Amino acid sequence: MPAAGRSINVREFIDARAVSPFQWLVGCLTFVVISLDGWDTVIIGFVVPELIKEWGVTKHALAPVLSAALFGLAAGALLGGPIADRFGRKRVLVASVSIIGVGTLATAHATSLGMMLPIRFVTGLGLGAVMPNVVTLWSEYVPERRRSFLVTVVYSGFTVGAALCGFIAAWIIPAYGWRTMLTVGGALAVACVPVLMLWLPESVAFLTIQGKRPERITAILSAIGRIRVPADTHFFLPAQPRVKGGAIGTILSARYLAGTALIWLCYFVGLFVLYLLYNWLPTMAKDAGYTSAQGAILVGFLNWGGTLGSIAIGWLMDRFDRYRIIATSFCLAAVSLWAVHGMQSTFWALQVLAFAWGWFVPGTNTGMNALTARFYPTVARSTGLSWMHAFGRLGAIGSAFAGAAILSAGLGLGQILPIMAVAPLTGAVAVLVIAGLVKRRALTDESVTAAVPEVAEVLPNTR
């Protein structure tokens, strides 16, 4: 038991212990949140073929509706990180899930593309803020030695939700219609809000940096350590570089700028390919002669592959060089996309390839979240992750218009995806450059530490 009046390094306290039931509760809640996010992100892809049939609209006319949600995702990510670094991760997550639920329910009642467009933008604001803040909050609750694996396990909830959406859409939409599918997704998100308000704790690292609510830090660490932490304990985090301009200034400082730009590039190409698949794979499958149900099944295999791939990649990142693991996964994503050429006429082969696309496309993107959570300090972690997501959304937005243009030009599944293989190859090169930058930064830090002893800021437990 800690002695009265002692100081506790919160990071070391968590790193020195096994994952407790309290931390697993946090993991389960964040997994549910990211699953809802995955469900509501991909649901529009299953609605698109039904809108074309029911409303008689063209693919070009639907591109603005698809991109509206993606613009919202970018804006939500851009704003959600700095807000969370200032006011807390939990508040942003609760507000975001509320927006997702209400927005998805409202989409179910849209009667025109003009009505659907602003609703999808607002829904995108919530979707965009959820993902980076889930990663940030969860990464600050898990020990360093298992962080990549545990972060990717929780983030794989995105593909679990997306996969469930695909398989359930294959049943609900033909039987009950697309509006019912949207209603189910919105209702699930709304029901989750009171659960998060009651049971999800704020990030203990954020509370420590803020120097507020010390009684809450005491309660959280007592639950994590399964001991009684004395009420007069002082809490602190390891010393971190301080940069003028706060969190935004940190990620854009000379120390982090080059890595930040390359991280953005990696996520841009990753989300370009991912959202091309999410938004247009059902339509590409239908154009190739398959049914809407078969298109939904392909997306289901894509997401189950993403779930298993995310977990496997995270496990490998904790045991081997995480940058080489991500670079290799990007390369294998390119191979799997190129392999569809000439195989699009066989449905069982497409199912195998869809599983591989999931393993190496969303799986690699999930690994990028774990990698980025380690790249930035606590004071800027949420902003760093959120701005990575925001820039990545530009790739997703581009995929909405690129998919519409390419399909309208008459290209099919077997021509489009091999071309897309260039994108993950670009990501592989960028990750290897980031690895070099991080190694150089570590050597510089060692030199500075040897010359000037590191001093950590101690935050007093004042009431």
* Number of separate helices (H) and strands (E) present in the chain: 19, 3
From 257-261, 381-385, 392-396, 440-444, the region with the lowest mean pLDDT: 440-444
Looking only at the bridges linking them, the beta strands covering 7-9 and 234-236 are parallel
Q: Pick the closest to residue 46 from 281, 274, 304 (CA basis).
A: 281
Where residue 458 falls among pLDDT bands split at 50, 70, 90?
A: very low
pLDDT of residue 451: 39
Is there a domain that residue 108 lies in? yes
pTM: 0.73
Is there a domain that residue 390 lies in? yes
The per-residue DSSP string of 223-282 comes to HHHTS---TT-EEE-------TTHHHHHHTSTTTHHHHHHHHHHHHHHHHHHHHHHHHHH
Is there a domain that residue 245 lies in? yes
In this prediction, residues 43-54 reach a mean pLDDT of: 84
Quick one: how far is CA 395 from the chain centroid?
A: 14
pLDDT of residue 296: 79
Rg of the chain over CA atoms, in angstroms?
Answer: 22
Q: Pick the closest to residue 221 from 199, 240, 203 (CA basis).
A: 203
Where residue 2 falls among pLDDT bands split at 50, 70, 90?
A: very low
Number of domains making up the chain:
1
E-strand ranges in 303-422 read none
Query: In the numeric block, which tokens belong to residue 443?
Result: 């050597």
Burial 405-439 (b: 16+ CB within 10 A, else e): ebbeeeeebeebbbebbebbbbbbebbebbbebbe
Where residue 461 falls among pLDDT bands split at 50, 70, 90?
A: very low
250 contacts 256 by C-beta, under 8 angstroms: yes
Report helix, strand or coil for 340.
coil
- The share of the chain scoring above pLDDT 90, in percent, equals 28
Report helix, strand or coil for 138.
helix
Residue positions counted in the chain? 463
How far is the C-alpha of 71 from the C-alpha of 271, rounded, in Å? 13
92 contacts 125 by C-beta, under 8 angstroms: no
Burial 153-188 (b: 16+ CB within 10 A, else e): bbbbbbbbbbbbbbbbbbebbeeeebeebbbbbbeb
Burial class of residue 359, CB neighbours in 10 A (0-12, 13-18, 19+): buried
Residue with the bigger pLDDT between 319 and 106: it is 106
Q: Pick the closest to residue 281 from 265, 303, 266 (CA basis).
A: 303
Q: What is the pLDDT of residues 139-171, one digit of tens each?
A: 889 888 888 888 888 888 887 888 788 888 888
Is there a domain that residue 460 lies in? no
The per-residue DSSP string of 116-130 comes to HHHHHHHHHHHHHHH
Is there a domain that residue 456 lies in? no
From 157-161, 297-301, 436-440, 441-445, the region with the lowest mean pLDDT: 441-445
Q: What is the pLDDT of residues 287-315, one digit of tens each?
A: 777 787 788 788 888 878 888 898 899 88
User: Tokens 């997501």 belong to which residue?
Assistant: 389
Q: For residue 368, what is the enclosing H or E element?
A: helix 362-375
Beta bridge partners of 88: none
Q: 316 pLDDT exceeds 80?
A: yes
**Average pLDDT value for the chain:** 84
Q: What is the pLDDT of residues 7-37, one digit of tens each?
A: 888 888 888 888 899 999 999 999 999 999 8
Range(s) of the domain holding residue 331: 7-451
pLDDT of residue 448: 34
Q: 463 pLDDT exceeds 90?
A: no
Is there a domain that residue 2 lies in? no
Is there a domain that residue 413 lies in? yes
Q: Pick the closest to residue 276 from 155, 360, 361 (CA basis).
A: 361
Is there a domain that residue 269 lies in? yes
Where residue 450 falls among pLDDT bands split at 50, 70, 90?
A: very low
pLDDT of residue 456: 41
Biggest CA pair distance of the chain: 73
Query: In the numeric block, which tokens belong to residue 51?
Result: 């809108």
Q: What is the pLDDT of residues 278-287, one digit of tens each?
A: 878 888 888 7
What CATH number did the domain enclosing 417 receive? 1.20.1250.20
pLDDT of residue 459: 38
pLDDT of residue 242: 58
Looking only at the bridges linking them, the beta strands covering 458-459 and 7-9 are unpaired
In this prediction, residues 52-60 reach a mean pLDDT of: 83
Quick one: how far is CA 419 from the chain centroid?
A: 25
pLDDT of residue 424: 93
